[in-house]
Amino acid sequence: MSQGLVPRPVSVTPAPGVVVLAPGSVVAHDPALRPAARWWRRVTEDAFGLDLVPLPDGAAAHDPTGTTATVRFAVDRDLPPSGCRLTVDDAGVRVDAADLDGAHAAAQTLRQLAGPAAFRRAPVGRDHGGRPWTDGQPRPVAGALTLPHVTITDHPRFAWRGVLLDVARHFLPKADVLRFVDLAAAHKLNVVQLHLTDDQGWRMEIERYPRLTEVGAWRRESGVGTWRAGVSDGRPHGGSYTHDDLREIVAYARERGVTVVPEIDVPGHVEAAVAAYPELGTRKTPHAVRTTWGVSTEVLDPSEESLAFFRDVLDEVLDVFDAPFVALGGDEVPTTLWRDDPAIVARAATLGLDDVADLHGWFLARLAEHVASRGRRAVVWDEAFGPALPRDVVVASWRGWAAGADALAAGHDVVMAPEQVVYLDHREGDGPDEPVPVGFLRTLEDVYAFEPLPGGLADAVARAGAAASGALLGGQAQVWTEHLDSVRRVDYAAFPRLAAFAEVMWSPAADRSVGSAASLEFRARLETHHLPRLDAYGVEYRPPSGPHPWQTRPGVHGWPRDLAAELAAGGLRGVGGWVEGRDRHTGGPA
């Protein structure tokens, strides 16, 4: 049995009986587990109208009057890393955790055991005047929480259980980012990669270079649907975060066991930065922030001046974010303008590079070295993988699996994030009402069947030699927002598929193929137990039967892609996007 939990735990042993937490119930915790215990106590008090009594850090499991603690968070070093054991019995609730990460996971499990009501911000009982609710239905009176007797042991399958949130294409206010962090934590995802810069917007305040947000955070309009339709909304769009906004997001996430990894994309996807500081670009000409989607041919001039500029930018990023990782992008870097510039061609020769395209890897390596000098590790997309890339850089494989396998064999740690499966902006249905149908058709079951390192590639990596191989850190789903212009659209694209992805990352390996027993059981568990939790939290997910009328986008054209055809052309080596009217696969017009 799973008790309806998502992700599914390693083991669940239910037992007869219940525990009732009432006002005055005592909560004790080991000092190392205080953030998890405090978070659980606060959300439980809010949801059920309880006043729980916290003991001071390190206090014995009794309050000064001798009352035994009802809820205890304790450290157990014998558990696996990030592991936990949750016991609910006549003695109360006991959380044993290997570390703080394990305690955060147990706190989320404990919240799910309390039912959908635990995902509300206030108790659903009688209103403040004591009158029944107007629909005449009975409601439980606030002030008590009942938990079933159960023993749960759990630990994650992968260390990196990530989701990328793109706030560059469409800005999300800080409150919406905090809400997304909450939802990631609720699914035991522990990394939120915040995509802060792109051609269409620069979202992080950089005090040394204020025009990055004064100019780069705003565009005059946005494309609607595929760029091929040539439709724009005519409405200015923008926004940015101050240092303190981002510090708040980081601290908020940390209190929930989530690491926020910032992404500053270079040397491509930089039109917003170049609009603010034209001298950074290859063309050197003033222009506006990009208003259409896709990949621009404008890239950074790979000069010492550009390197100095972005070292300064990264210094502020490193000061604001406490993550051990900083993402540098490195994807989709057309070299056309470099090849057409004699000075840049000469620079590549002076540096001893075989081809001007090698400036891509050279530039990123210099910035990765700067990140390393500050005690952090760089993360890059798989196009940046090559001989010039320092070994400590993490490679995120988005164009398929094979690039990630190659990076593993070369000694890099890898995060698998293939577009073919875990790009959640891609369409979930093929019906006529599917809003802005872009990319590959990827159903809930397709995402649930995702395997970060398929067997054949795992064997190939093993043959490369364990001594040389890096580690598969885990996987990451992406929520790109070209076509997601509000938090409601983000909800629709991300959920419930993100719940399926979270189970793949957390729960033990299994046959999760489409139509398998595990896949069918997951859908039943999701619809019976987990969707009511999302309803209570206020998530406007895509219903299993298809979009509600208000979730459709009539008249907005997408660009569906044929996964089978692209896989046949590229296999596990992947797919890719497009570059300003040129098809990346054929070289001809798109």
Residue in this structure with the two tokens 């909560």, named with its chain if needed:
27
Q: Is the pLDDT of residue 136 over 50?
A: no
Q: How far apart are the first and last CA of the chain?
A: 51
Residue in this structure with the two tokens 């109208």, named with its chain if needed:
49
Predicted local confidence at residue 137, as pLDDT? 44
Give dist(CA 225, CA 557) in Å, integer: 5
Predicted local confidence at residue 349, as pLDDT? 97
Residues paired with residue 190 on neighbouring β-strands, in sequence order: none
Residues paired with residue 201 on neighbouring β-strands, in sequence order: 198
Angle subtended at Cα 37 by Cα 98 and Cα 376, rounded to the nearest 5 degrees: 60
Q: Is the pLDDT of residue 454 over 90?
A: no
Give dist(CA 313, CA 306) in Å, integer: 11
Give dist(CA 310, CA 265) in Å, integer: 10
Q: Is the pLDDT of residue 585 over 60?
A: no
Task: Please give the backbone phi and psi of residue 8, each rounded to the nearest 5 degrees, phi first.
Answer: -70, 130
Q: Is the pLDDT of residue 122 over 90?
A: yes
Nearest to 54 by CA among 40, 76, 90, 46: 40
Give dist(CA 147, CA 111) in Å, integer: 10
Q: What is the CA radius of gyration of the chain?
A: 25
Task: Kindly report, residue by residue over 181-205, the tens digit of the pLDDT.
Answer: 999 999 999 999 999 999 999 999 9
Predicted local confidence at residue 56, as pLDDT? 83
Predicted local confidence at residue 345, as pLDDT? 97
Give the DSSP H or E segment for 380. Answer: strand 377-381
Evaluate whether 459 touches 483 at the Cβ level (below 8 Å): no
Give dist(CA 323, CA 341) in Å, integer: 38
Taking residue 455's Cβ as centre, other Cβ atoms within 10 Å add up to 8
Query: 84-89 and 92-97 as β-strands: parallel, antiparallel, unpaired?
Result: antiparallel
What mean pLDDT do residues 7-28 have?
94
Q: Is the pLDDT of residue 226 over 80?
A: yes
Q: Which of 335-344, 366-375, 514-523, 560-569 has the lowest average pLDDT?
A: 560-569
Question: What are the Cα distances from residue 302, in Å, to 274, 346, 348, 373?
Answer: 13, 12, 9, 20
Question: What are the Cα distances from residue 167, in Å, to 144, 146, 164, 219, 239?
Answer: 39, 39, 9, 14, 9
Tokens standing for residue 319 = 């000061």
Evaluate whether 452 touches 475 at the Cβ level (below 8 Å): yes
Specify the amino acid at residue 554: P
SS3 347: helix
Task: Please give the backbone phi and psi of residue 10, each rounded to the nearest 5 degrees, phi first.
Answer: -65, -45
Evaluate whether 541 touches 495 at the Cβ level (below 8 Å): yes
Predicted local confidence at residue 564, as pLDDT? 85
Predicted local confidence at residue 127, as pLDDT? 45
Give dist(CA 404, CA 296) in Å, integer: 25
Task: Kindly report, residue by residue over 514-540, the tens digit of the pLDDT.
Answer: 999 999 999 999 999 999 999 999 999
What mean pLDDT do residues 397-413 have?
93
Task: Please give the backbone phi and psi of residue 541, each rounded to the nearest 5 degrees, phi first.
Answer: -70, 165
Half-sphere exposure of 463 (CA within 13 A, CB side): 8
Q: Is the pLDDT of residue 140 over 70?
A: no
Report pTM.
Answer: 0.93
Query: 71-75 and 26-29 as β-strands: parallel, antiparallel, unpaired?
Result: parallel
Q: Which residues contact 425 (CB under 8 A, 6 or more apart)?
A: 438, 439, 478, 479, 480, 481, 482, 483, 484, 493
Residue in this structure with the two tokens 């259409």, named with its chain if needed:
292
Mean pLDDT (the chain) is: 91
Q: Which residues are catalytic?
A: 198, 269, 332
SS3 287: coil
Q: At what angle do helices 174-186 and 243-254 cross, to 10 degrees?
A: 20
466 pLDDT tier (thresholds 50, 70, 90): low
Give the DSSP H or E segment for 488. Answer: helix 487-494
Task: Kindly report, residue by residue over 370-381, the tens digit of the pLDDT.
Answer: 999 999 999 999
